[in-house]
Structure 1
């Protein structure tokens, strides 16, 4: 956290320029209160970038709309029923909400919207004390009825009132607490953590879409590991994504294996480090990469179902990659992730062990081509996931695997330069196949195409004459 005086000076500059000053002047001229509230105030004191401009006011939604229309380029009133009007001012989007004093029925997380009459009352109904601070503009007066500044300085996340009441009003706040703890690097106050654990079943009234949103935001934080651990410790993970706590496999004195749960968290950490290092236009990797992080966290979820105690004290997890891919697909579908994300994550999990055969013996060019073909547009993510999956403390083994993957990536780059591997196709297309074999569109054409693709992967590019001759030989043998 940066010094309070420095933060106040920053907020003063923010309030004196751009859309904040424009709004402050308009509301003051009309005799209405206006305050910058929540995230922007919190982040200013933490020295974090301010990405949202949220305001609260004593003006009604109709009055807000009337005040912002003359000074804005666009307005949206889709949140009018909840007291919120959005506008575009000087190139920035702002949201202004009427003071609220909502009430909840305890069976849904949708409040009966009630407008309040004071800034202090509005702040006390918010989720956490660090989000319950406001800066009155243009006066530049900090309002902090829940002592959020004390918690900000201490790095503690707590609710303004009793956590049981806060989470009873809106159970989604339990997931927000976990996400904010990771995002801000804060600890959750003991009474707040206890309430999350005791009230975890109430998460069932929250829509899957909102759960998905919070889980995704958690994984996209700079360091999500602590949040994932709290998700598991609280028992919420058991209700949302039970495959994660299931990784805490029991160990006995006769059969030993690595801690799969801790291994998965370490893989997540290492994948994020590599993601940040490799992000760029050349790799196509962006940071944060939700697909990669989901794959890293879930890559071993097939192990509980495939665990076998072998003679001699060994433990095996045969085909956990295939099983895990299917489990991930099912879980992500239930969490309402989009089809592209589901397909990419499940594919990465299915392929995450493929590389480890590379160290057993030199792969042929054909094997390298198949690796690239099977990875498809997930190749760069697969590079990261495979490297991140090495968590051994045996330095010699770790170096051997790292050097082997360096070699594989170099071979992929070399072959790609020679053969344009990213778009590997048979040397003859469907039209040529039909002309050469005198066929009409049919399954036989697809089989011929697959034969030529395998030939291309095995032997590299062939001339049209050679490909035609090999196709005719295959067809003659097939129809003999």
Structure 2
């Protein structure tokens, strides 16, 4: 039988007595009351001679007072028996996980997945476990990632099963693995990223042994597919407090494996501290971007958070020390956008996601450039506002949040000045949008009209004429067809036609 890469998994820990507090016991009973489907399934499997347990995150979240619609179960029944029993309750069944012992279905509003007890063995060079079915609940729970996810509720009798101390760890906010962390992480290296996510999402503190194992085995992450890493990284970013998990990934060396641009932000600061710690600055910007999402009633936004975290990744490559110790990062926005494209492509993000994040990184300094286009009275010119909106396109709202979040100065007067300047810009955008339909900004003449007026066929000159009219639209506002025709003919004559 194949074994774990670190030797056989230990299951020698004695079965511990589980004592739930009154509040925890009430949470378990409330779970059964709120989700009658779990006892229906429990009776169905028990009457067929099988054991069934609600398991994993559903049990953990119940103890935290949360109830979801996705339910995970484990059972002594084999996949064929699971499918047969499930089909007696629902016609909506999926079997794509059969080879791993999992049959899924939809019962009412609930999505359920039921998996045969597992006793996995792993090939140390493989990305996937070799599935071995097990016979006991304790043997199944010991192979799970963390003790807080290794608790189960027997159905339908509601006996609580916690052989590895998950309840105590949840109360004490500890993050541990049911077996030795070296074994657990070597078996499935993605669990090291999950450790960062649970530290961030649940406020759990990894114990020293877990951190040591993450550091020692960081290189094992290289056998995990980019898609799995991407999904776990995205889940971390979408938590309320991802900074905790990101910092854990950097400290243990895991970030070096899949997103080395992040730890590279820890630039060695010059002795006079003439520039910010870019790494800490980026984490603060991420936190402030999340705060802005909430303040503006947005849902957690992956693109917004990726852009906030990575907006300065071009700085290490563009840093220059100039006269009198001045530090510059010229064109780090443009360089960073290219780096973002390369990294997110390697992580298999979608083209739309890559385009959006890269645009935001490239534009994150544009506000400061346009601020220089304010008139003598300090008010933004209409032309500057139009160009800003045109450049941002469909990322304008995200650019608003990124630009505001990027202010981390401790100088209260400077921070207030920047905030008021951006308030003014957003107000100007809203005012012009009401007057000019900025979101649909285009020339007053289309390509067909341009060709008809100039008497030319499709070609390069049509595109140049269109671009000229768009610039006129940006600089001067709507011209109307007659004004646009006059501007087009003047431009055409100036070219010698």
Q: TM-score, normalised by structure 1?
A: 0.96
1:178 to 196, 201, 206: 196
- Confirm or deny: 8 A CA contact 1:358 1:404 kept in the other structure: no
SS of residue in 2 equivalent to 1:178: helix
Correspondence 1:454 to 2:471: yes
Deviation at 1:349, TM superposition (A): 0.5
SS of residue in 1 equivalent to 2:122: coil
Partner of 1:478: 495
Correspondence 1:302 to 2:314: yes
Structure 2 distance, partners of 1:53, 1:339, is: 32
Correspondence 1:138 to 2:138: no
Partner of 1:283: none
Partner of 1:365: 382
Structure 2 distance, partners of 1:243, 1:170, is: 24
SS of residue in 1 equivalent to 2:121: coil
Partner of 1:379: 396
Deviation at 1:49, TM superposition (A): 4.2
Gaps of 5+ in 2: 1-19, 375-379
**Once the two structures are superposed, what CA deviation does each residue of 1:66-100 show, in whole Å capped at 9, x if it has no partner?**
11101113011111111100011112110000001
Partner of 1:444: 461
Matched residues, number: 472
- Confirm or deny: 8 A CA contact 2:383 2:475 kept in the other structure: yes
Deviation at 1:187, TM superposition (A): 0.7
Task: Pick which of 354-363 and 454-463 moved more.
Answer: 354-363
1:336 to 348, 352, 355: 348
Correspondence 1:242 to 2:260: yes
SS of residue in 2 equivalent to 1:262: helix
RMSD: 1.3
Structure 2 distance, partners of 1:468, 1:252, is: 58
Task: Pick which of 19-28 and 86-95 moved more.
Answer: 19-28
- Confirm or deny: 8 A CA contact 1:416 1:422 kept in the other structure: yes
Correspondence 1:292 to 2:304: yes
Correspondence 1:105 to 2:123: yes
Structure 2 distance, partners of 1:308, 1:379, is: 31
**Once the two structures are superposed, what CA deviation does each residue of 1:39-62 show, in whole Å capped at 9, x if it has no partner?**
011111122343420000101100
Partner of 2:377: none
Structure 2 distance, partners of 1:390, 1:426, is: 35
Partner of 2:13: none
Which aligned pairs between 1:7-156 and structure 2 lie closer than 5 A? 7-16=24-33, 17-156=35-174
Structure 2 distance, partners of 1:48, 1:379, is: 35
Deviation at 1:358, TM superposition (A): 4.2
Partner of 2:9: none
Partner of 1:346: 358
Deviation at 1:105, TM superposition (A): 1.6
2:331 to 319, 322, 328: 319
Deviation at 1:18, TM superposition (A): 3.5
Structure 2 distance, partners of 1:227, 1:255, is: 27
- Confirm or deny: 8 A CA contact 1:427 1:464 kept in the other structure: yes
Deviation at 1:7, TM superposition (A): 3.4
Which aligned pairs between 1:158-173 and structure 2 lie closer than 5 A? 158-173=176-191
Structure 1 distance, partners of 2:243, 2:273, is: 28
Deviation at 1:168, TM superposition (A): 1.2
Partner of 1:402: 419
Structure 2 distance, partners of 1:438, 1:399, is: 55
Task: Pick which of 22-31 and 406-415 moved more.
Answer: 22-31
**Once the two structures are superposed, what CA deviation does each residue of 1:334-358 show, in whole Å capped at 9, x if it has no partner?**
1111100100001000000011134
Partner of 1:418: 435
Structure 2 distance, partners of 1:429, 1:11, is: 65
- Confirm or deny: 8 A CA contact 2:69 2:109 kept in the other structure: no
By relative contact order (CA 8 Å, sep 6+), the higher-ranking structure is 2
Deviation at 1:239, TM superposition (A): 1.1
Partner of 1:6: 23
**Once the two structures are superposed, what CA deviation does each residue of 1:401-428 show, in whole Å capped at 9, x if it has no partner?**
0000000000000000000000001001
Structure 2 distance, partners of 1:59, 1:373, is: 60
Structure 1 distance, partners of 2:218, 2:121, is: 21
Deviation at 1:255, TM superposition (A): 6.0
Structure 2 distance, partners of 1:109, 1:51, is: 29
- Confirm or deny: 8 A CA contact 1:179 1:227 kept in the other structure: yes
SS of residue in 2 equivalent to 1:26: helix
Gaps of 5+ in 1: 280-285
- Confirm or deny: 8 A CA contact 2:443 2:469 kept in the other structure: yes
SS of residue in 1 equivalent to 2:124: coil
- Confirm or deny: 8 A CA contact 1:15 1:138 kept in the other structure: no
Structure 2 distance, partners of 1:409, 1:272, is: 19
Deviation at 1:315, TM superposition (A): 0.7
- Confirm or deny: 8 A CA contact 2:27 2:65 kept in the other structure: no
SS of residue in 2 equivalent to 1:336: coil
Deviation at 1:136, TM superposition (A): 0.4
SS of residue in 2 equivalent to 1:191: helix
Deviation at 1:360, TM superposition (A): 4.0
Deviation at 1:359, TM superposition (A): 4.2
